[in-house]
C-alpha cells in the first residue's frame, strides 16, 4: 500500500476540517432554534417545549403517528372502580337550585355511586351565590372505570375572558394585559381553564378586539364572547357570527355537539375534521366546552377518553352546542380559584389527577386560555 506524502496528509486534514465545519454550520441553526424554544418565556415543561419544537419544524405527522400508536393501545379496563372521583366540597346547598341545572344522564349499565351525576356547589360567592357547580359521572359503558368531571358556570353569575399565551395564538403577540390573569380580575376570579389546540392544528382562527391574530374560518367550532362576558358556542358564520357586541373568538376543529346531538362522522373523524387521522381512537386526557339549554357554560374533562366518549359525556351533561378543546395530560387544565383577603389566590383542580401546576395561568403561560370572573 502506497504511503501518503506529507502534502497529501495535509490536504486530507484540511478536507476533514472543512467537512467538520460544514456539519457544525448545518447544525448550528436548529441548535440555536431549539435552545430558544427551551428558554422562551412562559410556563411549559421541557417535554412540551421539545415536542412542540419538533412539530414546528415539520415533524408533526411523525408526532401524531407516535401518539396515536401509544394512546390507542392504552385502553382502560372494562370493569372496576371509578378511576377519578373528585374531592368536591360536600357542604349544604339548596336542592331546589340544583334542580334548575341540566339533569346528567347516568349510564344504565352502572348502578349510581354516591354523588355521581349530582351538581354540587364548587365555588360560592357573596351572599351564598353559587358561581360554579361541579359534578362527576361515568360516560363509557365499555370502560366503566373511566370518569369525567364537569364544571357548570352560570352566565348570569360569571363572565368569561379569552387570554393569549406567550406563544399561542402567535409567537410574541403583544398583549395589553399580559399573559397571566390580570391583576384587575384576581379579586373576583372564579376559574381558569385551557383553550384549544395549537393554532397550526386547530383548523381555525383566533380573534379579539385587540389582536386579529389568526384569520377566522367559516364552519369551525367557535367560542364567541361578547362585551358582557357571555359565551355562545357554534359553527362560525352558520350559528354564530361577528357583530358589534363580539370581543373575542376562539376556534377549534368542527363542532362536536349540535342541537343536543353528537354530530355525524365523529367516530370516524370524517375528513380529519377533529384532528389528525385516527386521533379519535386515542385513550387520553380530553376536554370540551359547551352551553346547555339555559345558556350555562359547561366544561368537561377526563382521562382515558376517546373523542367518542368525550362527546358522549358532553351530551350526558346536557350540552346543546359543544366543541372539543385541547387534549393530553400536559394541556388539559381546570382550576377553581379562591382569592384571599391578603391578595393571594389558592387553587383547586377540578380533578386531582390533573397534572398542570395549580397556578398555571396565574403566571405567564405559553398557551392561550380562558378565565372566569364573578359579575
pLDDT tens for the chain, 375 residues: list them: 566 677 766 677 777 777 666 666 555 666 777 777 777 778 888 888 887 877 877 777 887 888 888 888 889 999 998 988 887 644 454 555 666 899 999 999 888 888 899 999 999 888 888 999 999 999 999 999 999 999 999 999 999 999 999 999 999 899 999 999 999 999 999 999 999 999 999 999 999 999 999 999 999 999 999 999 999 999 999 999 999 999 999 999 999 999 999 999 998 888 889 888 878 899 999 999 999 999 999 999 999 999 999 999 999 999 999 999 999 999 999 999 999 989 899 999 999 999 999 899 999 999 999 999 999
Domain limit, last residue, from 27, 45, 69: 69
Compute the distance between CA of residue 68 and CA of residue 53 in angstroms, rounded to an integer: 19
pLDDT of residue 89: 43
Please check whether residue 74 lies inside any domain of the structure: no
CA distances from 30 to 52, 61, 167 (A): 14, 19, 18
Q: Do residue 171 and residue 25 come from a single domain?
A: no
The answer to whether position 279 is within a domain reads yes
Domain that residue 38 falls in:
6-69
Residue bearing cell 376570579: 189
Look at the chain and count its residues: 375
Query: Based on the domain organization, do 197 and 284 belong to the same domain?
Result: yes
Strand partners for 261: 258
Same domain? For 274 and 325 the reply is yes
207 assigned to some structural domain: yes
Q: Identify the domain boundary among 69, 89, 107.
A: 69
115 and 12 within one domain? no
Q: Are residues 181 and 230 in the same domain?
A: yes
- 58-65 long-range contacts (CB < 8 A, ≥24 apart) are 60/200, 60/201, 61/276, 64/276, 64/277, 64/279
Cβ partners under 8 Å of residue 306, min gap 6: 280, 281, 282, 283, 286
Instruction: Mark whether 156 and 302 lie in a shared domain.
Output: yes
Query: What's the number of domains the chain is made of?
Result: 2
Same domain, 41 and 88: no
Q: Answer whether 329's CB lies under 8 Å from 355's CB.
A: yes
Q: Do both 175 and 107 map to the same domain?
A: yes
How many whole angstroms separate alpha carbon 324 and alpha carbon 197? 9
Contact 321, 234 (CB under 8 A): yes
pLDDT of residue 97: 61
Cell numbers for 248, please give them. 373575542
330 and 215 share one domain: yes
Do the domain assignments include residue 1?
Answer: no
Within this chain, do residues 198 and 259 fall inside the same structural domain, yes or no? Answer: yes
Same domain, yes or no: 100 and 60: no
Inside any domain, residue 88: yes
Quickly count helices (H) and strands (E) in the chain.
Answer: 7, 17
pTM of the full structure:
0.90
Of 137, 135, 163, the residue nearest 298 (C-alpha) = 135
CA of 166: how far to CAs of 59, 240, 290, 335, 348, in Å?
Answer: 22, 28, 26, 20, 24
| Residue 202 lies inside a defined structural domain of this protein | yes
Q: Is-contact 307 283, C-beta < 8 A?
A: no
pLDDT at 91: 47
CA gyration radius, the chain: 24
Same domain, 159 and 36: no
| Alpha carbon distances (Å) from 23 to 19, 41, 177, 320 | 6, 30, 44, 57
Rounded distance, CA 134 to CA 275, Å? Answer: 28
Euclidean distance between CA atoms 341 and 361, whole angstroms: 20
Last residue of a domain, one of 69, 97, 124: 69
In-domain check, residue 368 = yes
| In-domain check, residue 127 | yes
Amino acid at each position: 500500500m502506497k504511503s501518503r506524502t506529507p502534502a497529501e496528509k495535509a490536504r486530507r486534514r484540511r478536507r476533514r476540517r472543512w467537512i467538520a465545519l460544514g456539519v457544525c454550520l448545518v447544525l448550528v441553526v436548529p441548535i440555536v432554534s431549539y435552545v430558544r424554544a427551551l428558554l422562551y418565556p412562559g410556563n411549559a415543561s421541557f417535554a412540551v417545549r421539545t415536542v412542540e419544537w419538533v412539530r414546528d419544524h415539520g415533524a408533526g405527522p411523525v408526532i401524531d403517528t407516535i401518539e396515536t400508536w401509544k394512546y390507542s393501545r392504552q385502553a382502560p379496563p372494562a370493569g372496576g372502580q371509578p378511576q377519578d372521583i373528585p374531592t368536591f366540597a360536600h357542604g349544604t346547598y339548596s336542592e331546589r337550585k340544583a334542580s334548575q341545572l341540566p339533569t346528567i344522564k347516568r349510564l344504565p349499565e352502572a348502578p349510581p355511586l354516591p354523588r355521581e351525576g349530582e351538581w354540587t356547589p364548587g365555588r360560592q360567592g357573596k351572599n351564598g351565590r353559587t358561581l360554579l357547580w361541579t359534578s362527576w359521572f361515568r360516560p363509557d359503558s365499555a370502560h366503566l372505570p373511566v370518569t369525567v368531571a364537569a364544571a357548570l358556570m352560570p352566565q348570569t353569575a360569571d363572565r368569561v375572558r379569552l387570554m393569549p399565551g406567550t406563544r399561542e395564538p402567535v409567537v410574541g403577540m403583544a398583549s395589553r394585559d399580559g399573559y397571566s390573569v390580570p391583576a384587575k380580575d384576581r379579586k373576583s376570579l372564579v376559574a381558569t381553564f385551557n383553550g384549544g389546540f395549537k393554532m397550526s392544528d386547530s383548523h381555525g382562527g383566533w380573534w379579539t378586539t385587540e389582536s386579529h391574530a389568526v384569520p377566522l374560518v367559516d364552519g369551525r367550532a367557535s367560542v364567541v364572547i361578547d362585551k358582557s362576558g357571555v359565551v355562545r358556542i357554534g359553527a362560525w358564520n352558520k350559528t354564530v357570527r361577528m357583530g358589534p357586541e363580539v370581543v373575542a373568538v376562539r376556534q377549534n376543529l368542527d363542532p362536536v355537539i349540535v342541537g343536543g346531538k353528537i354530530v355525524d362522522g365523529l367516530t370516524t373523524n370524517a375528513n380529519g375534521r377533529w384532528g389528525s387521522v385516527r386521533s379519535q381512537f386515542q385513550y387520553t386526557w380530553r376536554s370540551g366546552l359547551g352551553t346547555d339549554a339555559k345558556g350555562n357554560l359547561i366544561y368537561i374533562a377526563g382521562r382515558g377518553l376517546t373523542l367518542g366518549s368525550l362527546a358522549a359525556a358532553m351530551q350526558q351533561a346536557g350540552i346543546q352546542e359543544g366543541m372539543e378543546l385541547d387534549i393530553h395530560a400536559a394541556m388539559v387544565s381546570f382550576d377553581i380559584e379562591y382569592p384571599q383577603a391578603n391578595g393571594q389566590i389558592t387553587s383547586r383542580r377540578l380533578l386531582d389527577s390533573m397534572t398542570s401546576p395549580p397556578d398555571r395561568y396565574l403566571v405567564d403561560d405559553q398557551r392561550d386560555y380562558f378565565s372566569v370572573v364573578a359579575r
